[in-house]
Every structure is written in structure tokens, then in C-alpha cells.
Amino acid sequence: MSDGTDEGVIVGIDLGTTQSAVAVVDSGFPILLADENGASLTPSAVWYGKEGEIEVGKAALRRAGVSPVVTSVKSLMGRAAGEGQLDENGRLDTPAGPRTPEEVSAEILRKLKTVAETRLEKPVGKAVITVPAYFHDGQRAATKKAGELAGLEVVRILSEPTAAALSYGLDRLDENSRVAVFDFGGGTFDVSILEMREGVFEVTSTAGDTQLGGDDFDELIAEMAAAEMKVALADLEPLERVSWLREGRRVKHALSEDDEVIFRMPFIEECQVSRKVFEVKMQTLLDRMESCCRRAMLDSQIDPTDLKAVVMVGGSSRIPVVKRRVAEVFGMEPDLSQHPDEAIARGAAIQAGILAGTVREVLLLDVTPLSLGIETMGGLMNVLIARNTTIPCKAGEMFTNAADGQKSMKVRVLQGERELAADNWELGSFEVPFAPERRGQARVGVEFRIDADGILSVLARDTATGKDTVIEVGSAAVDVTESKVEQMVSESVEHAFEDMNARVFEEARLKADELLPAVEVALEQAGEFLEQEELEKIKIARDGVVEAIQSEKAAELKGAVEVLDSATETLAALLVERATGALFSGS
Ligand code: ADP
Ligand code: MG
């Protein structure tokens, strides 16, 4: 960078459930970086030995038959202790001892960092890491933590659909064109609608299912085969089960090409799996996928005809019936131009390039995938930031005490779309103490802020203790701290819309102030030469402007002024005629 200190490159990382990849922008093109074996996709698998040895990726999977390997750790990121395979300390059991999901993910990231450093022949300290659009704040924060553990400064957490769209669309999207990004991976499914507006790339809605992915299809095939061979999959030893699932995956991949494939388990039988039967069994899962697609369109208030393209990414997009169903739901042939395994990493690299200044600036706007709010009286969800709000953003509300003499208020931070607090996810909670007051007298302000990485911070404040600070802009402006300046800037952004409205109103009003007396004078001078109908039109338009000024509505006034302006065109022409006529007659 310009100050002489080498800030180093920023890499883009797709930290996937099943596979991960690292990419950079090189001479304007995003490229994936390959490891020493030439592989640019690293299986998201980590193996721990008893002596503390660690293997990542393919090398880890090679040990899968010998001792357990941690896979799909992404699905455990940001989960509460005790959930899934996590123990009461939020750790996973490994032969080397307990490890948090962040620590496991950090091993994958460390490997990708090494791959990048080897390829680029220089140290890599910064990264953009992608997460599913559906990841909540805790999951995003955990991903950031994993990056830090791996020695990477995570300069941005980016939603995967946004990354895919970046990879697809920088040069292909015209003003106002919309695309759907359909990402069907190994563990998650995401669908998002994005729009180009004034050169700004915006996600207008996102829907998905964190429990739907290619793994489900592996299991489906393993179950089909097991039923055929009269084996109870559920009763198998974990390691045995893994090999059934692995064979299920192999067969699934082959079925994307062939109609019939043999499912083989060594020392047991084998059986034939047909694509037809597989497709029938997939229907329930495909229905879930379809309803996500419909929901995303509904949330963006569009129908398929509004879409320029449906960009398919993610490995499961290769399955023929998935493509057919997508074509059906969206009523068009999906766009398969993006490499299903590489698009996300490439998009992350493009974002990294934008942040590093090596790619031309395109403003990226992400949205909150779910509504955020707090629990209020009656156990209800009070939404502070609605789903699909563009981030970064902040929102606040004032709350009061429900009972006389109440000493504190519990703020439960919730995420979700349900009406009842209990049905939503609790992201955290804390007590806000305040001086005991009569019911309804205490005032507690709660503010939610989401930064550009989608990480939420919550602030609550008892206004009675006077901690609220009012900043004076003016001569005192030089004394304000950086954080207050920042606050001021973000507030101005927040009020941009109102400010703009006020400006439109003022401008229209100035014009009206000019126009109204001019019209009166013109009517006096030339009104008699106008048709009655024309005269009426002008008077109606004039009254419209007077009314609009009183209504104080910017858009209405602007419109009314335009109507008056065009209604008086003939009158104005007449005046000009008269003036020149007078000139001629006078000469
Ligand atoms: P993630 O982002 O979740 O890691 P990917 O986008 O890399 O996932 O996709 C991985 C999934 O794609 C796996 O479930 C894998 O089995 C599946 N997949 C890859 N190739 C094929 C194929 N040819 N046919 C069907 N599924 C495939
Ligand atoms: Mg993916």
C-alpha cells in the first residue's frame, strides 16, 4: 500500500461444509489456488491423532477408515453447548482431546492459508470468508473467530449467494436487472434474489434451509441400498456407517451421469440403484427446496419473469432432477455458467480485491437473513430490525417497566420470524438495572447495530441515569472522539432518506414560489386568449400546487409543480408571442 508498509494480499475463502477453497484476484481474474498436488478444493475434514498430529483435507479423509475424522464442522459453528455432538462445554470429542468447532474450522483455514502462501510466495494475513446467508450472528462471529485462530484477520464475512452473484455478474448485470442465486451444497441450501440498482449490488431477499444438502442425498442412497440388502443402517458402527455414506455419495455422483449404478459394500452384497427411483425418493427434499425458492421470490415481491437469470452453484446443482425442478419453479432454463464448486471462492476473491482496492469499486449491500428483536411483555417478539434489512444498519426502541418498583429489565436478544419469543432463537440475554419507578415510568433504550460483517451488537441504556450524550456539531466538532464521529456519520446515513425528502420538498417549493405569482400575472395578461378548457386546466393545476404545499409531502408537491409547469406551456407561448408581437407592432 501507499504508506510503504506491505499490507499484504487479501484472499477469498469459501469455507464450505464439505469442501473449502481459497482464491485471489490475479491480473483482474479471480483464480483458485491449488495445493502441492494440484487440487484447488480441500475437503473440509480434519483428523486428530493421539499424539497431537493433525491432517486436513484429503489426507484426513484417508484416515477415515482407521479412526474418526471430523467432517461437516460448519454445521456446528456457533451452536450452543450440548447441541448435536457438542459436549456441555461446546466441544467436540477428538482423539487428541476436546476441540471447539472454531478450533476445528481454524485447522481448515490454516491449511488454506498455507496453500495460498506457498502459491503466492508471500505471507497472507487477511481474508474474506463466506458463510451461508442463513447464518445467524453467533455463527458469523464463530467463523470470524476461526479465522483469527488460524492467524487470519477476517476483513469481511460475506454471504455465499452474494459471492456467487459477484462471480457471475459484475460485467453482465445491467441497471435494475435481477438474478436469483441458487446454491445447493453439501450441508446447506440457500436461494437469494439480488438486484443491480444504480451500480449498487443489493440482496433483496434470501431464504434457505440449513438442514438441507447433498449429505441428505448420500444418506437417501445408502438407505435405499441398505433396505435392499436388509441391513439396518441405524444399527451400524459409526465407522461402518461412514463407509456406507461414502459409497452413497459415490453412487449419487455417478447417477448424475448414468441411469443405473451399482452400490457396492465390500464383503456384503451389492445392489443396483436407479436414477428413477432415487428421483422419486428425493421428492420431499425437493419440495423443501422449492418452497424456499418461492419464499425468496415472495419476499422480494417478484415473479420469475422479473429475473434475468437463475444462477446455479453448489455441487448438488449437478443433479439432473435438481436442475429440472429449478427450471420448473422459475419457468426458465437456469444459468450453469458458474463452476458449481468454485463460484463462491471466486466471488470471495473479488470482494477481497474490492476491499484491497485491486478491483474496481462496487458497493455491496447485504441483508439480514432473519428479523432481530427482543422479548417484550407477554413473551412476544418485538422486531427491531426486520428480515431483509440492508446492512450495516441499526435500530432502537424505548421500553418501560411493566411493574411498580421493578429494579431491572431482562433483555433477551432474539432472532427469527415467529410471533412468540419462545419460538425464536435466543442469541443472548442480559439484565439492565434501573432505579425503581412506578409502572411505565422507567425508560430503557435498546439499540441494535449490525456492522458490515453482519455481526450484531446490542446496547441498552437507562435514560434516567443520564448516560445519554448529546453531541453538538459546530465549533465543538474538533473535540469529538473518533467513535462519536463515526456515530455521527452513521446517523447521517440513517437519515439520508428523510434528508433527501426534505430537500426534494424545498426544491419544489422554491419552484412553486416562483411559478405561482408568474402564473397569476400571465393569466391577467393573456388569459383572455386561452380556451375556457385550457384556463380551467391551469386553475386546477395551480390549486393543486397550493394544496400540495400545505400537505408538506415532497413527492406530491414535486408532481403538482410539474403538472402546473406543463399546463402553462400554451400560456407561456402566448406570452412570448404577445411580447414579440408588441415588439413588432411597436417598431
Ligand atoms: P458445500 O459448500 O456445502 O461444501 P459444495 O457446493 O462444495 O458444498 O457441494 C458439495 C456437495 O455437492 C456434496 O454433497 C457433493 O456430494 C455434491 N456433488 C458434487 N458433485 C456432484 C455430482 N456430480 N452429482 C451430485 N452431487 C454432487
Ligand atoms: Mg458452498
306: CA distance to ligand 2 center in Å?
Answer: 26
- For the chain, the average pLDDT equals 83
With a cut of 60, say whether residue 495 has pLDDT above it.
no
Give the mean pLDDT of 491-507.
62
pLDDT of 413: 85
pLDDT of 375: 85
pLDDT of 134: 75
pLDDT of 567: 87
pLDDT of 584: 44
In this prediction the pTM is: 0.64
Residues by chain with Cβ below 5 Å of ion ligand 2: 16, 185
Query: Residue 373 CA to chain centroid, in angstroms?
Result: 18
Which uninterrupted H or E stretch holds 54? Answer: strand 54-56
**The cell 450453469 sits on which residue?**
336
Model confidence at 471, in pLDDT bands (50, 70, 90)? very low
Q: Annotated active-site positions, please?
A: 14, 74, 160, 183
Cell numbers standing for residue 353: 480485491
17: CA distance to ligand 2 center in Å?
Answer: 7
99: CA distance to ligand 1 center in Å?
Answer: 26
Give the mean pLDDT of 236-255.
92
With a cut of 60, say whether residue 488 has pLDDT above it.
no
Ligand 1 surroundings by CB, under 6 angstroms: 16-19, 185-188, 213-215, 249, 252-253, 256, 314-316, 318-319, 341
With a cut of 80, say whether residue 198 has pLDDT above it.
no
pLDDT of 317: 96
pLDDT of 485: 33
255: CA distance to ligand 1 center in Å?
Answer: 13
Report the range of poorest mean pLDDT among 180-189, 343-352, 454-463: 454-463
Query: Residue 10 CA to chain centroid, in angstroms?
Result: 21
Give the mean pLDDT of 448-459.
77
DSSP string, 494-523: HTHHHHHHHHHHHHHHHHHHHHHHHHHHHH
75: CA distance to ligand 1 center in Å?
Answer: 15
Q: Which residue puts its alpha carbon closest to atom 6 of ligand 1? A: 314
522-537 confidence digits (pLDDT tens): 888 877 888 888 889 9
Residue 59 region by backbone torsions, left for phi larger than 0, else alpha for psi between -120 and 50, else beta: alpha
With a cut of 80, say whether residue 387 has pLDDT above it.
no
With a cut of 70, say whether residue 325 has pLDDT above it.
yes
Query: Residue 566 CA to chain centroid, in angstroms?
Result: 44
Q: Which atom of ligand 1 is nearest to the CA of 188?
A: 3
With a cut of 70, say whether residue 478 has pLDDT above it.
no
**Better-scored residue on pLDDT, 583 or 94:** 94
With a cut of 80, say whether residue 547 has pLDDT above it.
yes
35-57 confidence digits (pLDDT tens): 999 999 999 999 999 888 999 99
- Complete domains list, the chain, with CATH: 10-212+284-366 (3.30.420.40), 368-480 (2.60.34.10), 496-585 (1.20.1270.10)
Report the range of poorest mean pLDDT among 96-100, 188-192, 472-476: 472-476
**Better-scored residue on pLDDT, 119 or 487:** 119
**The cell 476436546 sits on which residue?**
98
With a cut of 50, say whether residue 109 has pLDDT above it.
yes
With a cut of 50, say whether residue 559 has pLDDT above it.
yes
Which of 252, 273, 312 best tests ligand 1's pocket when mutated (most atoms within 8 Å of CB)?
252
Q: Which ligand is the nearest neighbour of the Cα of 187? A: 1
pLDDT of 201: 67
**The cell 393545476 sits on which residue?**
541
pLDDT of 2: 37
Which value, in Å, is the radius of gyration of the alpha carbons in the chain? 31
**Better-scored residue on pLDDT, 433 or 549:** 549
pLDDT of 582: 52
With a cut of 70, say whether residue 167 has pLDDT above it.
yes
Q: Which ligand is the nearest neighbour of the Cα of 164? A: 2
d(CA 112, CA 116): 6
Q: Which residue puts its alpha carbon closest to atom 25 of ligand 1? A: 253
Q: Which atom of ligand 1 is nearest to the CA of 257?
A: 23
* Cβ atoms 11, 111 nearer than 8 A: no
169-183 confidence digits (pLDDT tens): 766 777 788 999 999
Q: Which residue puts its alpha carbon closest to atom 24 of ligand 1? A: 253
Cell numbers standing for residue 544: 393543486
298: CA distance to ligand 2 center in Å?
Answer: 24
pLDDT above 70 coverage of the chain, percent: 86
Q: Which atom of ligand 1 is nearest to the CA of 314?
A: 6
**The cell 404577445 sits on which residue?**
578
Q: Which ligand is the nearest neighbour of the Cα of 315? A: 1
DSSP 383: E
Q: Which atom of ligand 1 is nearest to the CA of 217?
A: 14
Q: Which atom of ligand 1 is nearest to the CA of 187?
A: 3
Give the mean pLDDT of 89-103.
93
pLDDT of 323: 97
23: CA distance to ligand 1 center in Å?
Answer: 19
Report the range of poorest mean pLDDT among 121-130, 319-328, 341-350, 441-450: 441-450
pLDDT of 580: 65
Which of 13, 15, 18, 338 best tests ligand 1's pocket when mutated (most atoms within 8 Å of CB)?
18
pLDDT of 469: 30
Q: Which residue puts its alpha carbon closest to atom 26 of ligand 1? A: 316
- Alpha-carbon torsion angle 258, 259, 264, 270, nearest 10: -160
**Better-scored residue on pLDDT, 458 or 128:** 128
**The cell 386546466 sits on which residue?**
537
